[in-house]
Amino acid sequence: MSQFWSDVVHKLTPYVPGEQPKLDNLVKLNTNENPYGPSPKVLAALKLEAAETLRLYPDPNSDALKAAIAQAHQLSAAQVFVGNGSDEVLAHVFQALLKHSRPLLFPDITYSFYPVYCGLYDIDYQTIALADDFTIKLEDYDQPNGGIVFPNPNAPTGIPLALAEIEKLLQINKHSVVVVDEAYVDFGAESAVKLINTYPNLLVVHTLSKARSLAGLRVGYALGAVDLIEALTRVKDSFNSYPIDRFASAGAIAAMQDQAYFQATCDKVMATRAALIKELHGLDFSVLPSGANFIFAKHATMDGAEITALLRQKNIIVRHFKAPSRIAPYVRISIGTDAQSAILLSALAEVIHSA
């Protein structure tokens, strides 16, 4: 380790993103990317943006993008915060709204960036164990806290929470911010956005990387009460006044406005997911209920690490989590096209029958 590192760097355990291997003929089902490209309207908007105006800074307030997001969610633009991907948005959320004297609460099995943010910003936190069936029990969060954050659906399990359960939590937890990370909500869960005007301590975070097929543009946003958004803006303007570039803004606006393409893509992913789960059951897999564009599956006799390694030999990449130990038997499989599912199922049948 370098003698020039600060103390905080020495203490950090960074987040490890999903692998982006550079292999030919790869069936890539490990990072929950949308198998379908962005709306044609997005591509047209990006071409128009390739102009001499690139010499100018983008709008630091991203007013046009905020207006498009607000319209899609039937909120005001003052209730929208945008950032360079939802990870950056979450980083600002942790620093602006979740750093308090009492511990932040989040599930023990969840998005692994949460403890990284806590380490980076020196936030005290406490993990709340998932139930035996891997569900989040929100009644366990009814305790003193400096904030609560969880994904819906959860990751990597994919299990969605009912909106009624989230509202119960908001009714009893009124003195700290509740952050619902809805990166995968469009694939089968019910969004908490409709509760924003009722609960001033609710913040909902979205990404355009999944359902809007824009992982390569890096755009995310948060929705909430005006004073929550103001806190995020104060942090953003103290860090980077121009997080959304001209291409990202143009593409994101077009994506938010093309609701028909967005819905059609989500419907295709959900249909493929349902068909894949049915076929996996026939191969002796158990699959957790999923409201996401991925599934969390366990075979009756083979370990998750073994399955992952054998699939990789066939140029099929899925994701395996070694820790905590109770999810080690599982593999997380991103939902691809029907053709990719067929290749996966054929490979799994070979792997299982030769074991």
The pLDDT tens digits of the residues spanning 264-279 come to 999 999 999 999 999 9
pLDDT at residue 267, as a whole number: 98
Name the residue range of residue 66's domain: 40-259
One domain for residues 181 and 199: yes
Residue 44, number of CB atoms within 10 A of its CB: 13
One domain for residues 170 and 244: yes
One domain for residues 120 and 136: yes
For the chain, list residues with pLDDT below 50.
Answer: none
Provide the CATH number for the domain around residue 15: 3.90.1150.10
In a domain, residue 308? The reply is yes
One domain for residues 15 and 59: no
**Strands of the 294-299 sheet, one edge to the other:** 285-287, 294-299, 330-334
Provide the CATH number for the domain around residue 255: 3.40.640.10
pLDDT at residue 17, as a whole number: 74
In a domain, residue 339? The reply is yes
pLDDT at residue 6, as a whole number: 86
In a domain, residue 305? The reply is yes
One domain for residues 180 and 315: no
One domain for residues 268 and 222: no
One domain for residues 13 and 86: no
One domain for residues 274 and 175: no
In a domain, residue 180? The reply is yes
pLDDT tens column, 152-180: 999 999 999 999 999 999 999 999 999 99
One domain for residues 270 and 254: no
In a domain, residue 2? The reply is no
In a domain, residue 1? The reply is no
**Strands of the 220-224 sheet, one edge to the other:** 80-83, 220-224, 202-207, 178-181, 147-151, 104-107, 125-128
Is the link from the previous residue into 289 a cis peptide, with omega within 30 of 0? Answer: no
pLDDT at residue 23, as a whole number: 67
Cα-flanking dihedrals φ and ψ of residue 129, to 5°? Answer: -65, 135
One domain for residues 197 and 270: no
Angle at 110 between CA 265 and CA 114, to 5 degrees: 105
Given its phi and psi angles, is residue 239 left (phi above 0), alpha (psi -120 to 50 degrees) or beta?
alpha
One domain for residues 246 and 200: yes
Last residue of a domain, one of 207, 227, 259: 259
Last residue of a domain, one of 202, 228, 259: 259
Last residue of a domain, one of 241, 259, 277: 259
pTM: 0.95
Split into its structural domains, the chain has a count of 2
In a domain, residue 310? The reply is yes
Judge contact between 163 and 195, C-beta under 8 A.
yes
One domain for residues 231 and 292: no
